[in-house]
Amino acid sequence: MSTVIVSQDELSRYNSLIPMLKKHISEAGIDRGRPLTYLVKTYGCQLNESDSEKIEGIFQEIGLVEAKEEETPDFLIFNTCTIRENADIRLFGNLGAYKSRKKENRDMFIAVCGCMMKQQENIDRIKKSFPYVDACFGPSDIHMLPKILANKLNQRKRIFSVSEEDYLVDDNDIPVLHKRKFRALVPIMYGCNNFCTYCVVPYTRGRERSRSSEQILSQLRDLAASGYKEVMLLGQNVNSYGKDKEGEISFAKLLEEAAKIPGFSRIRFMTSHPKDISEEVIYTMKKYPNIERHLHLPMQSGSSSILKRMNRHYDQEQYLKTAMLFRKELPDATVTTDIIVGFPGETEEDFQATLDVIEKVKFDSAFTFQYSRRPGTKAADYPDQIPQDVVTERFGRLLELQNALTFASNESVVGKTEEILIEGKSATAPDVLTGRTNSNRLVNFRIPAGIELNGKKIDSSAPDFDADEFEGMLANVRITRAKPYSVEGELESFIDESR
């Protein structure tokens, strides 16, 4: 795998196919008496979500409209993840469900992309068992979609174009559809060089390649000017941003430059790596209030010997030093993490070390996983795999401890008034809104009677009340109740009057 910078010319060649595709799509729509539709099904991480936003951007550029989930679209893309076994199983299950639908709509275009396509066995399986899939392409081939669609239009045969190269494209030149009108996902780098022994990402996403800070900052300025309140800076390991590029600025410097751009209420970033996070990042977060008061710092294990076997390049002491420095410098902020239980060779003592670190850092919440043996990773061949019943028992103890800490963390803000960036209607009830604090805490809240906005009284019990109308607004919410994974509250006032 080698990094290949895609030139402007090459990208323009792909984008130059868009007008032809647009003409074809509109003519086909006229023939069918309806606009042609698309659906992108996304699995996995926010980088996959960001890739899907580009696929949707290209689809909308050629004149397709998004279909409803239950409808049979004309263009369907599965953007896959292969981080854990169940992701693969889900993909093939869902793909199977479209066999009959393709029979109903012979012109339907079905494609599969994303990390699973970088594993030959998955391509072979699709070639053999899913003859109705028209195309497969890789996670760094998204910019080639116009060419793949054009090739499919000109020839009936199936297209399997999963590049070996790790492409780096100027994302500013690819159409993108940000799914939320207040939040933009902004990849700052792709790939990973860490080769943690349980992880497939370095084999599917390739080597680390940073976008230029000039491109990123120009994209951020455009987003701020277009009214986006929140940006999520994305990378498998944001802390090694710029290290692969001579003369490029550090992640801390990029974060600072982003924070200086007027208009952003929230600068968020994901994912940090304990081996690379610098103290400078922590002090930069402290200095700029519009950088989120939250650090997601995947620990994976609290045992230094297991961390060594995971090839994580830090030990318990180093992890604690970083986490406790963050706790000291930003006492009101939240710290979350990822933890794997049942890694090969994990003894009861190793597991205890994980529980000890959790007790010390008191994570505000954690993504917890049972070890998943992934073909092609080093740890998959380790002899000392842990029996499932032992993993399940330990996982139970881990959840018990972490859930108590998460609830205690939520309880600690009851009675306080928090600034919330509203995300829209909650999943619980039409008159309940949802949003997040600046420390990434999930808040579900109601608007009490008597609250006014632009001089108009808001009545959340009215039949035409639409919580999504408040998406992207800032509000002060008094927290009234703690729940296991969120808090409840009542709106006190809107912070930002313009909608």
Residues forming the site for ligand SF4 (CB under 6 A):
192, 194-196, 199, 201-202, 236-237, 273
Q: Are strands 417-425 and 474-482 parallel, antiparallel or unpaired?
A: antiparallel
Nearer to ligand SF4, 3 or 151 (CB): 3
Q: Are 319 and 299 in contact (CB under 8 A)?
A: yes
**3-class SS of residue 354:** helix
Find the helix or strand (DSSP H, E) in which 113 lies. Answer: strand 109-114
Give me the least distance between CB of 133 and ligand SF4, in Å please. Answer: 27
Q: ∠ CA 158-122-190 to the nearest 5 degrees?
A: 95
Nearer to ligand SF4, 369 or 465 (CB): 369
Give me the least distance between CB of 19 and ligand SF4, in Å please. Answer: 38
Give me the least distance between CB of 205 and ligand SF4, in Å please. Answer: 7
**Sheet containing 183-187: order of strands:** 183-187, 230-234, 266-270
By the 10 Å C-beta count (0-12 exposed, 13-18 middle, 19+ buried), 456 is classed as exposed
Give me the least distance between CB of 343 and ligand SF4, in Å please. Answer: 12
Give me the least distance between CB of 213 and ligand SF4, in Å please. Answer: 22
Give me the least distance between CB of 207 and ligand SF4, in Å please. Answer: 11
Nearer to ligand SF4, 236 or 334 (CB): 236
CA dist., res. 476 & res. 178, Å (int): 26
Nearer to ligand SF4, 111 or 339 (CB): 339
Nearer to ligand SF4, 296 or 394 (CB): 296
Give me the least distance between CB of 3 and ligand SF4, in Å please. Answer: 16
Which 8-state DSSP code applies to residue 291? Answer: B
Give me the least distance between CB of 188 and ligand SF4, in Å please. Answer: 15
Give me the least distance between CB of 197 and ligand SF4, in Å please. Answer: 9
Q: Are 474 and 422 in contact (CB under 8 A)?
A: yes
Nearer to ligand SF4, 278 or 461 (CB): 278
Nearer to ligand SF4, 203 or 407 (CB): 203
Nearer to ligand SF4, 168 or 200 (CB): 200
**3-class SS of residue 71:** coil
Q: Are 25 and 62 in contact (CB under 8 A)?
A: yes
Nearer to ligand SF4, 73 or 274 (CB): 274
Q: Are 234 and 50 in contact (CB under 8 A)?
A: yes
CA dist., res. 159 & res. 156, Å (int): 9
Give me the least distance between CB of 380 and ligand SF4, in Å please. Answer: 14
Nearer to ligand SF4, 67 or 200 (CB): 200
Would you say the C-alpha torsion 286, 291, 293, 295 has a positive or negative sign?
A: negative
CA dist., res. 312 & res. 253, Å (int): 25
Nearer to ligand SF4, 240 or 250 (CB): 240
**3-class SS of residue 133:** coil
Give me the least distance between CB of 311 and ligand SF4, in Å please. Answer: 8
Q: Are 237 and 274 in contact (CB under 8 A)?
A: no
Q: Are strands 334-341 and 159-161 parallel, antiparallel or unpaired?
A: unpaired
Nearer to ligand SF4, 119 or 444 (CB): 119
Which among 145, 490, 438 is positioned nearest to 285, based on CA atoms?
A: 438
Give me the least distance between CB of 397 and ligand SF4, in Å please. Answer: 23
Alpha helices in 311-428 (DSSP H): 316-329, 348-361, 388-411
DSSP string, 179-246: SSSSEEEEE-EE------TT--HHHHH-S-EEPPHHHHHHHHHHHHHTT--EEEEE-TTGGGTTTTST
